[in-house]
Structure 1
Protein backbone atom coordinates (compact mmCIF):
# COMPACT_ATOMS: atom_id res chain seq x y z
CA UNK A 1 0.00 0.00 0.00
CA UNK A 2 1.33 3.43 -0.93
CA UNK A 3 1.95 5.71 2.08
CA UNK A 4 -0.16 8.85 2.19
CA UNK A 5 2.04 11.93 2.77
CA UNK A 6 0.89 15.25 4.23
CA UNK A 7 3.02 18.44 4.15
CA UNK A 8 2.91 21.10 6.90
CA UNK A 9 5.02 24.21 6.22
CA UNK A 10 4.04 27.87 6.47
CA UNK A 11 6.16 28.82 3.42
CA UNK A 12 4.59 28.14 0.02
CA UNK A 13 7.98 27.80 -1.79
CA UNK A 14 9.05 25.16 0.74
CA UNK A 15 5.87 23.16 0.18
CA UNK A 16 6.34 23.48 -3.58
CA UNK A 17 9.94 22.25 -3.29
CA UNK A 18 8.85 19.20 -1.29
CA UNK A 19 6.15 18.35 -3.84
CA UNK A 20 8.76 18.56 -6.61
CA UNK A 21 11.09 16.24 -4.72
CA UNK A 22 8.23 13.82 -4.07
CA UNK A 23 7.43 13.79 -7.77
CA UNK A 24 11.10 13.11 -8.57
CA UNK A 25 11.24 10.05 -6.30
CA UNK A 26 7.75 8.72 -7.11
CA UNK A 27 9.04 5.82 -9.20
CA UNK A 28 11.56 4.52 -6.66
CA UNK A 29 9.44 5.50 -3.66
CA UNK A 30 5.71 5.19 -4.56
CA UNK A 31 3.38 7.34 -2.46
CA UNK A 32 0.25 9.50 -2.50
CA UNK A 33 0.13 13.18 -1.61
CA UNK A 34 -2.66 13.38 0.97
CA UNK A 35 -2.65 17.17 1.34
CA UNK A 36 -0.81 20.21 2.59
CA UNK A 37 -1.33 23.20 4.88
CA UNK A 38 0.50 26.30 6.05
CA UNK A 39 -1.28 26.34 9.40
CA UNK A 40 -0.01 24.05 12.16
CA UNK A 41 -2.98 24.86 14.40
CA UNK A 42 -5.43 23.45 11.91
CA UNK A 43 -3.22 20.58 10.80
CA UNK A 44 -4.39 18.05 13.38
CA UNK A 45 -7.86 17.76 11.92
CA UNK A 46 -6.68 17.91 8.33
CA UNK A 47 -4.12 15.15 8.86
CA UNK A 48 -6.69 12.94 10.58
CA UNK A 49 -9.26 13.49 7.82
CA UNK A 50 -6.64 12.77 5.16
CA UNK A 51 -5.66 9.55 6.94
CA UNK A 52 -2.02 10.46 6.45
CA UNK A 53 0.65 7.85 7.11
CA UNK A 54 3.61 10.26 6.99
CA UNK A 55 3.81 13.97 7.86
CA UNK A 56 6.60 16.17 6.47
CA UNK A 57 6.75 18.91 9.09
CA UNK A 58 8.56 22.24 9.46
CA UNK A 59 9.62 23.47 12.92
CA UNK A 60 9.32 27.26 12.97
CA UNK A 61 5.75 28.29 12.17
CA UNK A 62 3.46 31.01 13.53
CA UNK A 63 0.77 30.14 16.06
CA UNK A 64 2.03 26.67 16.97
CA UNK A 65 5.43 25.28 16.11
CA UNK A 66 6.15 21.89 14.63
CA UNK A 67 7.47 20.40 17.87
CA UNK A 68 4.16 21.01 19.63
CA UNK A 69 2.17 19.70 16.66
CA UNK A 70 4.29 16.55 16.60
CA UNK A 71 3.64 15.98 20.32
CA UNK A 72 -0.09 15.85 19.53
CA UNK A 73 0.31 13.74 16.41
CA UNK A 74 2.41 11.09 18.16
CA UNK A 75 0.29 10.89 21.31
CA UNK A 76 -0.90 7.40 20.43
CA UNK A 77 1.95 5.39 18.84
CA UNK A 78 -0.48 2.80 17.42
CA UNK A 79 -2.48 5.24 15.30
CA UNK A 80 -0.02 8.14 14.89
CA UNK A 81 1.45 9.00 11.50
CA UNK A 82 5.24 8.91 11.14
CA UNK A 83 6.67 12.41 11.57
CA UNK A 84 9.65 13.54 9.47
CA UNK A 85 10.89 17.05 10.22
CA UNK A 86 12.07 19.09 7.23
CA UNK A 87 13.56 22.35 8.46
CA UNK A 88 16.35 24.88 8.09
CA UNK A 89 17.09 24.85 11.84
CA UNK A 90 19.43 22.20 13.23
CA UNK A 91 19.08 23.23 16.88
CA UNK A 92 15.69 21.56 17.34
CA UNK A 93 16.84 18.02 16.48
CA UNK A 94 16.96 16.79 20.09
CA UNK A 95 13.47 18.11 20.84
CA UNK A 96 12.21 16.53 17.62
CA UNK A 97 13.28 13.07 18.68
CA UNK A 98 11.88 13.65 22.17
CA UNK A 99 8.44 13.87 20.53
CA UNK A 100 9.14 10.61 18.65
CA UNK A 101 9.98 12.02 15.23
CA UNK A 102 11.27 9.37 12.85
CA UNK A 103 13.80 11.60 11.07
CA UNK A 104 15.13 15.17 10.93
CA UNK A 105 16.07 16.53 7.51
CA UNK A 106 17.81 19.84 6.97
CA UNK A 107 16.92 22.11 4.07
CA UNK A 108 17.83 22.04 1.27
CA UNK A 109 16.82 18.39 1.24
CA UNK A 110 18.33 15.96 -1.23
CA UNK A 111 15.92 13.68 -3.09
CA UNK A 112 17.84 10.55 -2.07
CA UNK A 113 17.76 11.53 1.61
CA UNK A 114 14.02 12.18 1.47
CA UNK A 115 13.37 8.87 -0.28
CA UNK A 116 15.35 7.01 2.36
CA UNK A 117 13.36 8.65 5.18
CA UNK A 118 10.04 7.86 3.50
CA UNK A 119 11.02 4.22 2.92
CA UNK A 120 11.96 3.81 6.58
CA UNK A 121 8.73 5.49 7.65
CA UNK A 122 6.71 3.16 5.42
CA UNK A 123 8.43 0.10 6.87
CA UNK A 124 7.84 1.32 10.41
CA UNK A 125 4.20 2.08 9.59
CA UNK A 126 3.68 -1.44 8.24
CA UNK A 127 5.18 -2.94 11.40
CA UNK A 128 2.99 -0.73 13.59
CA UNK A 129 -0.17 -1.76 11.74
CA UNK A 130 0.78 -5.43 12.20
CA UNK A 131 1.32 -4.88 15.91
CA UNK A 132 -1.99 -3.08 16.16
CA UNK A 133 -3.81 -6.01 14.58
CA UNK A 134 -2.16 -8.37 17.02
CA UNK A 135 -3.24 -6.69 20.26
CA UNK A 136 -6.59 -7.34 21.88
CA UNK A 137 -9.40 -4.79 21.90
CA UNK A 138 -8.94 -4.23 25.63
CA UNK A 139 -5.23 -3.54 25.32
CA UNK A 140 -5.83 -1.21 22.39
CA UNK A 141 -8.41 0.83 24.27
CA UNK A 142 -6.13 1.14 27.28
CA UNK A 143 -3.28 2.30 25.06
CA UNK A 144 -5.50 4.85 23.30
CA UNK A 145 -6.70 6.46 26.48
CA UNK A 146 -5.57 10.05 26.76
CA UNK A 147 -4.13 11.83 29.75
CA UNK A 148 -5.12 15.29 28.46
CA UNK A 149 -7.86 17.03 26.52
CA UNK A 150 -6.67 19.28 23.68
CA UNK A 151 -8.26 22.73 23.84
CA UNK A 152 -7.83 25.16 20.95
CA UNK A 153 -8.04 28.79 22.05
CA UNK A 154 -7.26 31.57 19.58
CA UNK A 155 -3.70 30.99 18.37
CA UNK A 156 -2.67 28.26 20.79
CA UNK A 157 -3.51 24.72 21.85
CA UNK A 158 -3.77 23.96 25.57
CA UNK A 159 -3.49 20.53 27.15
CA UNK A 160 -5.85 20.13 30.10
CA UNK A 161 -5.10 17.09 32.31
CA UNK A 162 -8.03 14.69 32.51
CA UNK A 163 -7.44 14.44 36.26
CA UNK A 164 -8.24 18.15 36.66
CA UNK A 165 -11.62 18.01 34.92
CA UNK A 166 -14.61 18.21 37.27
CA UNK A 167 -17.36 17.88 34.69
CA UNK A 168 -18.20 18.12 30.99
CA UNK A 169 -21.52 19.55 29.84
CA UNK A 170 -22.97 19.54 26.33
CA UNK A 171 -24.18 22.94 25.12
CA UNK A 172 -25.25 23.38 21.50
CA UNK A 173 -22.44 22.04 19.28
CA UNK A 174 -19.74 22.39 21.94
CA UNK A 175 -18.91 20.69 25.20
CA UNK A 176 -17.95 22.83 28.19
CA UNK A 177 -15.03 21.37 30.11
CA UNK A 178 -14.85 22.62 33.71
CA UNK A 179 -11.82 22.55 35.97
CA UNK A 180 -11.45 24.13 39.38
CA UNK A 181 -9.87 27.21 37.81
CA UNK A 182 -11.81 27.82 34.58
CA UNK A 183 -13.97 26.63 31.71
CA UNK A 184 -12.93 25.58 28.21
CA UNK A 185 -14.85 24.66 25.06
CA UNK A 186 -14.00 21.49 23.16
CA UNK A 187 -15.46 19.99 19.99
CA UNK A 188 -16.00 16.42 21.15
CA UNK A 189 -19.17 14.47 21.86
CA UNK A 190 -20.14 13.42 25.37
CA UNK A 191 -20.81 9.92 24.07
CA UNK A 192 -17.25 9.43 22.79
CA UNK A 193 -15.78 10.90 25.99
CA UNK A 194 -17.98 8.63 28.10
CA UNK A 195 -16.85 5.57 26.15
CA UNK A 196 -13.17 6.48 26.45
CA UNK A 197 -13.27 7.47 30.12
CA UNK A 198 -15.98 5.21 31.55
CA UNK A 199 -13.95 4.58 34.70
CA UNK A 200 -13.26 8.30 35.25
CA UNK A 201 -16.58 10.03 34.49
CA UNK A 202 -20.18 9.11 35.22
CA UNK A 203 -23.21 10.44 33.35
CA UNK A 204 -25.52 12.32 35.70
CA UNK A 205 -27.79 13.71 33.00
CA UNK A 206 -28.16 13.31 29.25
CA UNK A 207 -26.07 16.48 28.78
CA UNK A 208 -23.49 16.09 31.58
CA UNK A 209 -20.61 13.86 32.66
CA UNK A 210 -19.07 14.30 36.12
CA UNK A 211 -15.72 13.08 37.41
CA UNK A 212 -16.39 10.30 39.91
CA UNK A 213 -13.67 11.65 42.18
CA UNK A 214 -15.26 15.12 42.16
CA UNK A 215 -18.60 14.00 43.60
CA UNK A 216 -18.81 14.80 47.33
CA UNK A 217 -22.55 14.39 47.79
CA UNK A 218 -26.08 14.99 46.53
CA UNK A 219 -28.90 17.24 47.65
CA UNK A 220 -32.53 17.80 46.83
CA UNK A 221 -33.16 20.13 43.95
CA UNK A 222 -36.13 22.31 43.11
CA UNK A 223 -39.54 20.63 43.14
CA UNK A 224 -40.91 19.75 39.72
CA UNK A 225 -44.65 19.82 38.96
CA UNK A 226 -45.99 17.10 36.69
CA UNK A 227 -47.78 17.98 33.49
CA UNK A 228 -51.17 17.39 35.16
CA UNK A 229 -50.30 20.05 37.72
CA UNK A 230 -51.06 18.12 40.89
CA UNK A 231 -48.08 15.84 41.50
CA UNK A 232 -44.65 16.81 42.73
CA UNK A 233 -41.64 14.92 41.41
CA UNK A 234 -38.55 14.61 43.57
CA UNK A 235 -35.37 15.99 41.98
CA UNK A 236 -31.74 15.75 43.02
CA UNK A 237 -28.50 17.47 42.11
CA UNK A 238 -24.88 16.51 42.54
CA UNK A 239 -22.49 18.47 44.79
CA UNK A 240 -18.94 18.85 43.46
CA UNK A 241 -15.67 19.65 45.14
CA UNK A 242 -14.00 23.03 44.49
CA UNK A 243 -16.99 24.64 42.67
CA UNK A 244 -20.31 26.06 43.83
CA UNK A 245 -22.22 24.94 40.76
CA UNK A 246 -24.52 21.94 41.24
CA UNK A 247 -25.62 19.77 38.33
CA UNK A 248 -29.09 18.19 38.07
CA UNK A 249 -29.36 14.41 38.18
CA UNK A 250 -31.85 12.80 35.83
CA UNK A 251 -34.28 10.21 37.19
CA UNK A 252 -32.70 7.63 34.89
CA UNK A 253 -29.20 8.23 36.31
CA UNK A 254 -30.23 8.75 39.93
CA UNK A 255 -29.69 5.10 41.00
CA UNK A 256 -26.18 5.14 39.54
CA UNK A 257 -25.18 8.39 41.25
CA UNK A 258 -26.81 7.38 44.54
CA UNK A 259 -24.73 4.21 44.58
CA UNK A 260 -21.55 6.28 44.26
CA UNK A 261 -22.25 8.43 47.32
CA UNK A 262 -23.38 5.69 49.65
Structure 2
Protein backbone atom coordinates (compact mmCIF):
# COMPACT_ATOMS: atom_id res chain seq x y z
CA UNK A 1 0.00 0.00 0.00
CA UNK A 2 2.77 2.39 1.01
CA UNK A 3 4.62 1.41 -2.15
CA UNK A 4 1.54 2.25 -4.30
CA UNK A 5 1.19 5.69 -2.68
CA UNK A 6 4.89 6.32 -3.25
CA UNK A 7 4.58 5.42 -6.95
CA UNK A 8 1.52 7.64 -7.30
CA UNK A 9 3.32 10.61 -5.73
CA UNK A 10 6.34 10.10 -7.99
CA UNK A 11 4.04 9.99 -11.05
CA UNK A 12 2.34 13.22 -10.05
CA UNK A 13 5.70 14.99 -9.57
CA UNK A 14 7.01 13.72 -12.90
CA UNK A 15 3.88 14.88 -14.74
CA UNK A 16 4.15 18.26 -13.06
CA UNK A 17 7.77 18.73 -14.15
CA UNK A 18 7.00 17.81 -17.75
CA UNK A 19 4.05 20.18 -17.80
CA UNK A 20 6.26 23.00 -16.53
CA UNK A 21 8.82 22.27 -19.27
CA UNK A 22 6.05 22.39 -21.85
CA UNK A 23 4.88 25.77 -20.53
CA UNK A 24 8.43 27.12 -20.70
CA UNK A 25 8.72 25.97 -24.31
CA UNK A 26 5.47 27.72 -25.18
CA UNK A 27 6.59 30.99 -23.61
CA UNK A 28 9.84 30.86 -25.61
CA UNK A 29 7.84 30.49 -28.85
CA UNK A 30 5.69 33.48 -27.96
CA UNK A 31 8.53 35.56 -26.63
CA UNK A 32 10.26 35.94 -29.99
CA UNK A 33 8.02 38.95 -30.11
CA UNK A 34 11.32 40.77 -30.31
CA UNK A 35 12.14 39.15 -33.64
CA UNK A 36 8.58 39.70 -34.86
CA UNK A 37 8.90 43.38 -33.92
CA UNK A 38 12.12 43.60 -35.91
CA UNK A 39 10.33 42.16 -38.91
CA UNK A 40 7.62 44.77 -38.64
CA UNK A 41 10.25 47.49 -38.38
CA UNK A 42 11.97 46.09 -41.44
CA UNK A 43 8.67 46.17 -43.30
CA UNK A 44 8.10 49.78 -42.27
CA UNK A 45 11.61 50.67 -43.36
CA UNK A 46 11.07 48.94 -46.70
CA UNK A 47 7.83 50.84 -47.12
CA UNK A 48 9.60 54.11 -46.34
CA UNK A 49 12.36 53.19 -48.75
CA UNK A 50 10.04 52.33 -51.65
CA UNK A 51 9.19 54.62 -54.54
CA UNK A 52 5.82 54.36 -56.26
CA UNK A 53 4.68 56.27 -59.33
CA UNK A 54 1.17 57.16 -60.47
CA UNK A 55 1.11 58.58 -64.03
CA UNK A 56 -1.69 61.06 -64.55
CA UNK A 57 -1.22 62.81 -67.87
CA UNK A 58 1.69 64.05 -69.98
CA UNK A 59 3.87 65.98 -67.47
CA UNK A 60 1.65 65.34 -64.47
CA UNK A 61 2.29 62.50 -62.04
CA UNK A 62 2.33 61.62 -58.37
CA UNK A 63 5.29 59.94 -56.74
CA UNK A 64 5.36 58.53 -53.22
CA UNK A 65 8.79 59.02 -51.70
CA UNK A 66 9.74 58.73 -48.03
CA UNK A 67 6.02 58.09 -47.39
CA UNK A 68 5.16 61.53 -48.79
CA UNK A 69 2.96 62.21 -51.81
CA UNK A 70 4.80 64.43 -54.27
CA UNK A 71 2.69 65.86 -57.09
CA UNK A 72 4.64 67.02 -60.14
CA UNK A 73 3.10 69.74 -62.36
CA UNK A 74 -0.50 68.98 -61.34
CA UNK A 75 -2.95 69.88 -64.10
CA UNK A 76 -6.18 68.21 -65.16
CA UNK A 77 -9.16 67.28 -63.01
CA UNK A 78 -8.56 68.41 -59.44
CA UNK A 79 -11.04 65.88 -58.03
CA UNK A 80 -9.13 63.02 -59.66
CA UNK A 81 -5.87 64.34 -58.26
CA UNK A 82 -7.27 64.56 -54.74
CA UNK A 83 -8.33 60.91 -54.88
CA UNK A 84 -4.64 59.95 -54.92
CA UNK A 85 -4.15 60.97 -51.30
CA UNK A 86 -2.76 63.82 -49.25
CA UNK A 87 -0.92 66.49 -51.21
CA UNK A 88 2.30 66.81 -49.23
CA UNK A 89 4.55 68.42 -51.83
CA UNK A 90 3.92 70.06 -55.21
CA UNK A 91 6.84 70.47 -57.62
CA UNK A 92 6.30 73.01 -60.40
CA UNK A 93 8.71 73.12 -63.30
CA UNK A 94 7.51 75.80 -65.74
CA UNK A 95 4.90 78.40 -66.66
CA UNK A 96 3.33 76.57 -69.62
CA UNK A 97 -0.24 75.30 -69.35
CA UNK A 98 0.72 71.62 -69.47
CA UNK A 99 2.73 72.17 -66.27
CA UNK A 100 0.94 74.97 -64.48
CA UNK A 101 -2.75 75.55 -63.74
CA UNK A 102 -3.57 78.05 -61.02
CA UNK A 103 -7.15 76.83 -60.57
CA UNK A 104 -6.02 73.25 -60.00
CA UNK A 105 -3.37 74.42 -57.54
CA UNK A 106 -5.93 76.35 -55.53
CA UNK A 107 -8.19 73.29 -55.43
CA UNK A 108 -5.65 70.66 -54.36
CA UNK A 109 -3.32 72.62 -52.08
CA UNK A 110 -3.96 71.68 -48.46
CA UNK A 111 -3.01 73.62 -45.33
CA UNK A 112 0.19 71.59 -44.88
CA UNK A 113 1.15 71.36 -48.56
CA UNK A 114 4.56 72.71 -49.51
CA UNK A 115 5.01 74.08 -53.04
CA UNK A 116 8.41 74.26 -54.75
CA UNK A 117 8.69 76.49 -57.81
CA UNK A 118 11.12 78.60 -59.83
CA UNK A 119 10.74 82.37 -59.62
CA UNK A 120 8.97 82.66 -62.99
CA UNK A 121 6.24 80.29 -61.78
CA UNK A 122 6.02 81.77 -58.28
CA UNK A 123 5.24 85.15 -59.82
CA UNK A 124 2.00 83.67 -61.16
CA UNK A 125 0.81 82.28 -57.81
CA UNK A 126 -1.80 83.89 -55.58
CA UNK A 127 -0.69 85.55 -52.34
CA UNK A 128 -2.24 82.66 -50.41
CA UNK A 129 -0.31 80.02 -52.34
CA UNK A 130 2.89 82.03 -52.05
CA UNK A 131 2.80 81.67 -48.27
CA UNK A 132 3.26 77.91 -48.79
CA UNK A 133 5.86 78.22 -51.54
CA UNK A 134 9.63 77.93 -51.51
CA UNK A 135 11.29 79.52 -54.53
CA UNK A 136 14.23 77.58 -55.95
CA UNK A 137 16.36 78.86 -58.79
CA UNK A 138 18.68 76.65 -60.83
CA UNK A 139 21.36 75.16 -58.60
CA UNK A 140 19.59 75.93 -55.31
CA UNK A 141 18.36 73.26 -52.93
CA UNK A 142 16.44 72.68 -49.71
CA UNK A 143 15.52 69.85 -47.36
CA UNK A 144 11.88 69.00 -46.83
CA UNK A 145 10.36 65.97 -45.04
CA UNK A 146 13.85 64.41 -44.96
CA UNK A 147 14.03 64.77 -48.74
CA UNK A 148 16.73 66.86 -50.39
CA UNK A 149 15.34 68.80 -53.37
CA UNK A 150 17.67 70.51 -55.84
CA UNK A 151 16.66 72.63 -58.84
CA UNK A 152 18.38 71.45 -62.03
CA UNK A 153 18.45 73.64 -65.16
CA UNK A 154 16.06 72.78 -68.00
CA UNK A 155 16.23 74.49 -71.36
CA UNK A 156 16.44 74.03 -75.13
CA UNK A 157 19.66 73.83 -77.15
CA UNK A 158 18.41 73.81 -80.75
CA UNK A 159 18.13 77.27 -82.27
CA UNK A 160 14.61 76.61 -83.56
CA UNK A 161 13.48 75.57 -80.07
CA UNK A 162 15.26 78.02 -77.75
CA UNK A 163 12.19 80.23 -77.47
CA UNK A 164 10.19 77.39 -75.91
CA UNK A 165 12.33 77.02 -72.79
CA UNK A 166 14.98 79.61 -72.03
CA UNK A 167 17.80 78.81 -69.65
CA UNK A 168 17.12 79.85 -66.04
CA UNK A 169 13.32 80.11 -66.27
CA UNK A 170 12.25 76.58 -65.36
CA UNK A 171 13.43 73.78 -63.10
CA UNK A 172 14.11 70.12 -63.42
CA UNK A 173 14.52 68.51 -59.99
CA UNK A 174 16.90 66.12 -58.29
CA UNK A 175 15.42 64.46 -55.20
CA UNK A 176 17.41 62.46 -52.66
CA UNK A 177 15.99 60.35 -49.84
CA UNK A 178 16.94 57.03 -48.23
CA UNK A 179 20.05 56.80 -50.43
CA UNK A 180 17.90 57.06 -53.56
CA UNK A 181 18.45 59.76 -56.22
CA UNK A 182 15.51 60.65 -58.47
CA UNK A 183 15.76 63.03 -61.42
CA UNK A 184 12.77 64.79 -63.02
CA UNK A 185 13.77 66.42 -66.29
CA UNK A 186 10.95 68.89 -66.80
CA UNK A 187 11.00 70.40 -70.33
CA UNK A 188 14.58 70.14 -71.51
CA UNK A 189 16.88 68.95 -74.21
CA UNK A 190 19.88 66.76 -73.50
CA UNK A 191 21.78 69.55 -71.78
CA UNK A 192 25.22 69.11 -70.15
CA UNK A 193 23.67 69.50 -66.68
CA UNK A 194 21.61 66.38 -67.34
CA UNK A 195 24.37 64.36 -69.00
CA UNK A 196 26.69 65.09 -66.07
CA UNK A 197 24.34 63.60 -63.47
CA UNK A 198 25.77 60.63 -61.57
CA UNK A 199 24.40 57.77 -59.46
CA UNK A 200 20.78 58.29 -60.51
CA UNK A 201 18.43 55.51 -59.42
CA UNK A 202 15.25 56.71 -61.17
CA UNK A 203 14.69 59.33 -63.86
CA UNK A 204 11.69 60.80 -65.64
CA UNK A 205 12.81 61.91 -69.10
CA UNK A 206 10.79 64.04 -71.53
CA UNK A 207 10.87 63.55 -75.31
CA UNK A 208 8.61 65.43 -77.67
CA UNK A 209 9.17 67.60 -80.70
CA UNK A 210 9.44 70.44 -81.32
CA UNK A 211 9.28 71.42 -77.65
CA UNK A 212 11.94 69.30 -75.95
CA UNK A 213 14.11 66.64 -77.62
CA UNK A 214 13.81 63.74 -80.02
CA UNK A 215 13.80 60.14 -78.83
CA UNK A 216 17.38 59.57 -80.02
CA UNK A 217 18.76 62.48 -77.99
CA UNK A 218 16.83 61.41 -74.88
CA UNK A 219 18.18 57.87 -75.18
CA UNK A 220 21.73 59.08 -75.76
CA UNK A 221 21.57 61.28 -72.66
CA UNK A 222 20.24 58.41 -70.53
CA UNK A 223 23.04 56.15 -71.75
CA UNK A 224 25.51 58.90 -70.90
CA UNK A 225 24.60 59.22 -67.23
CA UNK A 226 24.00 55.48 -66.76
CA UNK A 227 21.01 55.45 -64.45
CA UNK A 228 19.24 52.39 -63.09
CA UNK A 229 15.62 52.96 -64.12
CA UNK A 230 13.98 55.44 -66.46
CA UNK A 231 10.38 56.45 -67.12
CA UNK A 232 9.79 58.13 -70.49
CA UNK A 233 7.12 60.78 -69.90
CA UNK A 234 5.95 64.04 -71.48
CA UNK A 235 6.09 62.39 -74.91
CA UNK A 236 3.15 63.95 -76.76
CA UNK A 237 4.40 66.43 -79.35
CA UNK A 238 3.03 68.63 -82.07
CA UNK A 239 2.62 65.70 -84.47
CA UNK A 240 1.49 63.02 -82.04
CA UNK A 241 3.25 60.67 -79.65
CA UNK A 242 6.98 60.06 -79.61
CA UNK A 243 8.04 56.46 -80.13
CA UNK A 244 8.78 55.36 -76.56
CA UNK A 245 9.25 51.77 -77.72
CA UNK A 246 12.11 52.96 -79.91
CA UNK A 247 13.53 54.83 -76.92
CA UNK A 248 13.43 51.61 -74.92
CA UNK A 249 15.02 49.65 -77.74
CA UNK A 250 17.95 52.08 -78.07
CA UNK A 251 18.59 52.20 -74.33
CA UNK A 252 18.32 48.50 -73.56
CA UNK A 253 20.27 47.45 -76.66
CA UNK A 254 23.19 49.64 -75.62
CA UNK A 255 22.91 49.07 -71.88
CA UNK A 256 20.71 46.16 -70.74
CA UNK A 257 21.35 47.13 -67.11
CA UNK A 258 19.09 50.16 -67.49
CA UNK A 259 15.43 49.33 -66.87
CA UNK A 260 13.00 51.26 -69.08
CA UNK A 261 9.53 51.42 -67.56
CA UNK A 262 6.80 52.48 -69.99
CA UNK A 263 3.59 53.62 -68.33
CA UNK A 264 0.38 54.93 -69.88
CA UNK A 265 0.57 58.68 -69.41
CA UNK A 266 -2.28 59.28 -71.85
CA UNK A 267 -4.86 56.73 -70.76
CA UNK A 268 -7.66 59.31 -70.84
CA UNK A 269 -6.55 60.84 -74.11
CA UNK A 270 -8.22 60.15 -77.45
CA UNK A 271 -4.81 60.45 -79.05
CA UNK A 272 -2.79 57.26 -78.56
Structure index of larger Rg: 2
TM-score, normalised via structure 1 length: 0.26
TM-score, normalised via structure 2 length: 0.25
The structure richer in strand per residue is: 1
